[in-house]
A and B are shown apart, each in its own frame.
Chain A
Amino acid sequence: MALWSQKIADIEINGFTIPAVNSSWHDTGAWAVYVEPNPHKLGAKIPRNTFYNLRVNIYSPQVKFGLSPGEMEKIGIEIEKTLDGYSYELERAEIIGKNYRKMFSGTLIAYIIALITAYGWWFIWFRQPFHAFVGIDNWWKNLRAKKLPRYHVREVVFGKDKNRISAINDVYRYYKTLKGRYLEICQKMRDYCKLRKKENPAFGEIERAYREIILTELEDSFLVKMVAHTLPQKVLRFFLGDMVLIPKISVPKILVPIRDLDYDLSPYID
């Protein structure tokens, strides 16, 4: 895709296959691959007006049946889906948001005058100037996100950094000693990584991964966030309804559910 004269930036990011028990309907008991920068932070790494090559290094513990090519491919596909979906949603929200902002920014002057002179219909006057700022946060995020589709190659490979490999193996060894419920296990793993991150900074990265996973488990689902189900939310939506029609696009985390590497497949593989 890139022209011969164009510079291509090489960007490397790291992902860890970590023992974390997912709890959603389709991924109960699965582990997760966590990739460190979310799409918003990844967008900041890409220089302006250049293409980029993205390489995702995956670090997973050494087990009898490691990740097979099909599973590596799936990790790549899911990462692509997250990145593309994020930039797509922002762009689509901006198609409408941009026009709405333009449509109402001219009215600001009109309403400043009208607020002073008009006696009735104050209800209409005070809410419409807000439309000048519809989806302004999406615009801000889109500055970075629109760089994401300018890639040349995106690939997922096994990482070779020794520190990270030893860290993920230690984490797995510690995980084998644990028993309990899934969130407790995640909290213990987080604390373990926190203790050891001074000797090996790779533990710090895995600790952040656990923090994100715990947060994901605790936070509300997408639909609960979107649907107005409390009185204050309903009141807000009544008055500012069409501002909410331009949805607030949240920055996704790159968390791919993957096979539980601790589970012994040998009875099922002939």
Chain B
Amino acid sequence: MAKIDLYQVWQKDGYTLITPFNPVFFTDRLARNQKILRRRETLDIILNVEKIDRTLIELGETSPYLKVEEKEGNLVISPQEKIPSELERTLLCAFRDTIFQNEAIVNQFLLYRDIFFYYGRYRFGGFYGIIHRLFPLVFIMRVVKGYQPMVWQMLLVDPLFLNRTKDALFSHYQEIEEGMNYAFKNITLVQKENIALRALNNIVRKDEKGEGFNLAAKLCDRLGMGFLKDFYWVATQATEDTEWDIYKKPPIPFVPWPKKS
């Protein structure tokens, strides 16, 4: 099953949802979307919570827009029938803006990058363009019989396979994009209890000496939730004092400053 894990993290003022992702490599998301289309899978969103309770179900009951059903221990969220079409469109747009956008843009970027690397390499304007511009030289030197196979290679075989590479790349990334569209239309929400998350949320809730985020940032990687460091650390800088001090101090000079006589 294709799964995304979401974590319900306490941030002093309320909950926020955080999903871990690799900022450098995009492979896992591409592979996920491709797999979803090929296998026609639903996207399971694993919501990690401190304790499973009926909060979400009640939220669904009171909400005029969403319908929450319990099926085999999982929560299935779908839009209510009564939802006005305009509002639905607005919600869908918001959803696309947050989750789709990043994946769609990077997908497009990777496509262009690959086209540049592999298709443009032997073309006229490409990396080996200079050599190709000397192509007429081959005809001038036709007295040398050894060049003749290469001439036909360059005229017929190279363009054929380069075009095939280009087509394969286009269809590859198109498949991923379709998978992304398919994924976000078939979502199942599953709640799971996570004890490490509970501990971290309690630390922030307790907020010892007003430094809850600091302690959580130091502990979260040891509790196997290291991706939260990027969240807690920033929160620390904004709301707590300890680590903020370093920016108030003057920087240490690279060479000793000359004393005034």
On A, residues with C-beta under 8 Å from B are 1, 24-31, 65, 68-71, 73-74, 76-77, 80-81, 84-85, 87-89, 92, 95-96, 99-100, 102-103, 106-107, 109-111, 113-118, 124, 149, 154, 242, 245, 257-260, 263, 265, 268-270
Known: A26-B229, A245-B118, A260-B222. 15 other contacts (CB 8 A): A26-B227, A29-B221, A65-B195, A68-B195, A76-B3, A81-B28, A87-B31, A88-B31, A88-B34, A92-B172, A99-B161, A111-B150, A257-B226, A268-B198, A268-B202
A94 CB, nearest partner CB in chain B, Å: 10
Docked pose: A107 CA to B196 CA in angstroms: 60
A269 touching B224 by the CB < 8 A rule? no
Q: Are B172 and A95 in contact (CB under 8 A)?
A: yes
Q: Assess whether B157 is in contact with A106, with CB atoms less than 8 Å apart.
A: yes
Asked if residues B224 and A103 are in contact (CB atoms below 8 Å), the reply is no
CB <8 Å contact, B147 and A70: no
Residues A107 and B221 in contact, CB atoms below 8 Å apart? no
Most buried by B among A25, A74, A87, A118: A74
B5 in contact with A114 (CB, 8 Å): no
* Interface presence of B68 (CB below 8 A): no
Stretch of B86-94, B100-108, B163-171, B241-249 with 4 or more beta carbons under 8 angstroms from chain A: B163-171
User: Count of B residues near A, CB < 8 Å?
Assistant: 56
Q: Are B147 and A260 in contact (CB under 8 A)?
A: no
Choose from B149, B169, B192, B224 the contact partner of A107 (Cβ within 8 Å): B149
B195: contacting residue among A71, A103, A114, CB under 8 A: A71
Q: Which residues of B contact A81 (CB under 8 A)?
A: 28, 31
- Please state if A107 and B165 are interface contacts (CB–CB under 8 Å): no
From A26, which residue of chain B is reached at the shortest CB distance? B226
Given contact pairs A71-B194, A103-B157, A30 touches B28 in the complex (Cβ within 8 A): no
A-B contact pairs, 15 of them (CB 8 A): A27-B226, A28-B226, A70-B196, A77-B3, A84-B28, A84-B35, A95-B172, A96-B114, A96-B168, A99-B161, A99-B162, A110-B149, A149-B35, A259-B195, A259-B222
Which residues of the partner chain A approach B202 to less than 8 Å between Cβ atoms?
268-270
